[in-house]
Amino acid sequence: MKLNRHIREFAKAIGTGAIEIYNEFSLQHELGIYLRNNLKGCKVQFERNVSHFKLAKSGLEKREIDIAVTSRRSGAQLSAIELKYPRNGQVPESMFSFCKDIAFLEQLVSAGFQSAYFLAVAEHRHFYSGNSNGIYGLFRNGAPITGKITKPTGAKDRVVHIAGSYTATWLPITGSTMFCLVQVGS
């Protein structure tokens, strides 16, 4: 199952106007519908609690998976997808939230999911271009997303740890709207 190919095709469909998204909720549902129509033999579920997969909630970055893809026949945990579509600015806070999602996906792969994907859609260039200092470099300059990442604003009292190393690459959808796809696991 080459889910990254399906997600890229989904982004192309947004770019052509065949699919319309306007917030994170629409992104989640339109992607889920697209995957249901294109992944034969798979079950696509929304906001699936980790306890459904017999995972302990304690120690995980999050409690619910935005989109979970499992095998209809065997129940195998094929893939988990976390989504972001920031619309209210707060660029550094959103980028930290991106990192939390990637760390959560690592936890899910370690717990048995075959692969996982982080998908961000951004309409504003501040997410993909500009100053590359601090957390900005992780999503604007190709710096590796890895290691200890500290919350960039406020008390800076929250830290997320990313064991792997990932590169954020932004690709065009239409106009100033871009998407970033990060794969965790094989």
16's CB contacts (< 8 A; 6+ apart) are none
Which helix (H) or strand (E) segment holds residue 32: the answer is helix 24-38
pLDDT in tens, 144-186: 999 999 999 888 789 999 999 999 999 999 999 999 999 998 7
Beta pairing, strands 64-71 & 77-84? antiparallel
What is the predicted pLDDT for the residue at 57? 84
Q: What is the mean pLDDT of residues 79-86?
A: 97
Return the structure tokens found at 123. 């309409």
Q: What is the mean pLDDT of residues 81-97?
A: 93
CA separation for the pair 170, 44 (Å, rounded): 25
Which residue, chain included where needed, has tokens 């993909």? Answer: 128
Q: What is the mean pLDDT of residues 29-55?
A: 96
What letter represents residue 136's amino acid?
Y
pLDDT band at residue 141, thresholds of 50, 70 and 90? confident
Closest residue by Cα to residue 178 from 134, 135, 139: 139
Say how many Å lie between the first and final Cα of the chain, rounded: 10
**Under a CB-based contact definition with an 8 Å cutoff, are residues 44 and 37 in contact?**
no
